[in-house]
Amino acid sequence: MSNKQTNRSEHEIGRREFLARTAMGGAALAIGSLPTSRGVAGAEGDPATRPEWLRQCQQRTPLAPPPLVSQVRHSRLCYDPGRYCGHPRQGIIQYFGNGEIIVGHNHAPCEYKKAGDARHGLGGYHSRAKLLLQRSLDGGQTWPEDQNVVVYDETISTEAKRAFLYQKDAPRDECDMFHPESVFFFGRTFLPDRGEKEVCFALRSVDKGRTWEKTPTIIEHPDGADVHLHKDCYPVVRMPDGKTLLADVPIKVHGEGVAIFASTDNGLTWQYRSNAVKDISGTGRFTYPGLLLLPNGEVQCYSLHISRKADCHDHWKVDGLKDAICVCRSTDGGHTWSDPAPIVGKGMDCWTPLGDRAEGSNVYRSPWPLLLADGRILVLFGRRRFPYGIGGTVSEDGGTTWSKEFVIRAGQCSVPDLGYPVACQLEDGSIFTAYYYNTPGGTSKTAVRYIAGTSFRLG
């Protein structure tokens, strides 16, 4: 079988023949071209569907040396011992230039006494939270309270939620979402009849997040409302045609992955376009996506594979795609995608002197890719294996090869409940990242969660 034949996609040769060729030739399955969220590709027992599929593609070596991290300054954006301030990746981030940054996070009362006080999700702190937007006018150094805006309040009644979400024939604002002062908020809210399947919705602002439209856009998968979608705040891609927006939307089911949605009406409606990446082994899922548009027109989708504990006896070990941060690529505007490739797993030496040990949770959490002004790609992540903290890796060749990991922050905390970094680069080349952290000397029940920030430079 020639390379030309084995590299043809599922769309070109048909699904059954493609799976057969993959099984015979040992090639990796082009999972990005799978058309819907239904099921896991392939029949039971097919080589492409076994856990070994995750290990077939290993991180490319050799790794580059880590960049020099300098001028590191940590700060607090929002701290209150009676509040759980968390998950800024579920909020908002945008840099408007001249030092003006907005960051949103989930802000909820929390007593930090009972085991369930700091729990996430339905019935946890999310059910008590407001989405609080903060604004800095000096590059992240200060966050004046008079700039705060509550974008959404999860504590409103079920009737009020339904009235907000389902406004029949409500007029919609005209918004130019390609304007540099425009910003999206992608929210999630719980309704009693949906259990833990949140409703995913979007709001738009054209004045840097100071005011927001009153009517949301509901985002659903074409397979129906039973497909559990949500969208974090990773910015939409504004395509060069001046009319197409691309958004990454994780499907919250094991064996599933990241769907790509597109809008050509400034975010009034969103249509499913493709699956960027999907765990065809059925032993985990790809999540925490982020889309980058490179100067050459290529769109990259970064995501994290999380293995299902029932199918993984060693969640401390990153092996190929398993529990790794990965990247896949599209050269046709997000319609089809390459196989995923891991960008981490072999370069964790920087954590060893800090006491690396098998304690906590899976190594990586919530990657955040950022295209830097000098052309490098930076990926920040939360580290939830001890020592806990925030780390990064850098590519100098468009995401093909990567550096060893480096530490942005480690220690000065109690538990692995941290991360969800968001980030931007300022005109002077410095990088600002916000994330949630927790106070030292506590437990999972008592450690106060707060929004922290770090400014730094990369050599």
What's the pLDDT at 312? 58
Q: Could you report the per-residue pLDDT of 306-319, keeping only the tens digit for each?
A: 998 755 567 678 99
Selected residue with higher pLDDT from 40 and 399? 399
Contacts of 357 (CB under 8 A, 6+ apart): 385, 386
pLDDT higher than threshold 50 for residue 357: yes
What's the pLDDT at 12? 32
Dist CA 240 CA 305 (whole Å) = 30
**Which tokens hold the place of 203?**
């709001």
What's the pLDDT at 310? 58
| pTM for the full predicted model | 0.89
pLDDT higher than threshold 90 for residue 8: no
What's the pLDDT at 244? 98
Contacts of 43 (CB under 8 A, 6+ apart): 49
Reported confidence tier of residue 42, pLDDT bands at 50, 70, 90: very low
Reference 30, options 430, 314, 341, 429; nearest CA is: 341
208: left (phi over 0), alpha (psi -120 to 50) or beta: left
pLDDT higher than threshold 80 for residue 443: yes
What's the pLDDT at 316? 75
Question: Does 171 sit behind a cis peptide bond, omega within 30 degrees of 0 on the bond before it?
Answer: no
User: Mean of the pLDDT values across residues 344-368?
Assistant: 95
Question: What is the 8-class DSSP label of residue 23?
Answer: H
**Cβ atoms of residues 399 and 327 within 8 Å:** yes
**Sheet of 449-458, strands arranged across:** 69-78, 449-458, 431-438, 419-425
Helix (H) or strand (E) holding 165: helix 158-165
**Cβ atoms of residues 271 and 324 within 8 Å:** no
Dist CA 328 CA 10 (whole Å) = 16
Lowest-confidence segment of 167-176, 219-228, 325-334, 372-381 by average pLDDT: 219-228
Selected residue with higher pLDDT from 93 and 44? 93
Reference 397, options 377, 368, 379; nearest CA is: 377
**Domains of the chain, start order:** 10-458 (2.120.10.10)
Dist CA 224 CA 37 (whole Å) = 10
What's the pLDDT at 23? 31
User: Mean of the pLDDT values across residues 81-89?
Assistant: 98
Dist CA 134 CA 107 (whole Å) = 11
**Which tokens hold the place of 164?**
């907000």
The vertex-203 CA angle with 107 and 100, nearest 5°, equals 65
Burial class from Cβ neighbours inside 10 Å (0-12, 13-18, 19+) for residue 352 reads: exposed
What's the pLDDT at 234? 97
Dist CA 75 CA 277 (whole Å) = 35
Pairing of strands 325-330, 299-307: antiparallel
Q: Which residue has the tokens 């030292």?
A: 440
**Which tokens hold the place of 431?**
């990088």
Residues in the chain: 459
pLDDT higher than threshold 50 for residue 14: no
Q: Could you report the per-residue pLDDT of 325-341, keeping only the tens digit for each?
A: 999 999 999 999 999 99
What's the pLDDT at 225? 82
What's the pLDDT at 2? 36
| Mean pLDDT, all residues of the chain | 89
User: Mean of the pLDDT values across residues 427-448?
Assistant: 97
Dist CA 289 CA 302 (whole Å) = 5
- Write the DSSP assignment of 39-69 as a string of letters: S-SS-TT-GGGSTHHHHSSPPPSSPBPPPPE
Q: Could you report the per-residue pLDDT of 371-395, keeping only the tens digit for each?
A: 999 999 999 999 999 999 999 999 9
What's the pLDDT at 451? 99
Selected residue with higher pLDDT from 361 and 131? 131
pLDDT higher than threshold 70 for residue 10: no
Dist CA 456 CA 433 (whole Å) = 9
Reported confidence tier of residue 48, pLDDT bands at 50, 70, 90: low
What's the pLDDT at 28? 29
Helix (H) or strand (E) holding 401: none
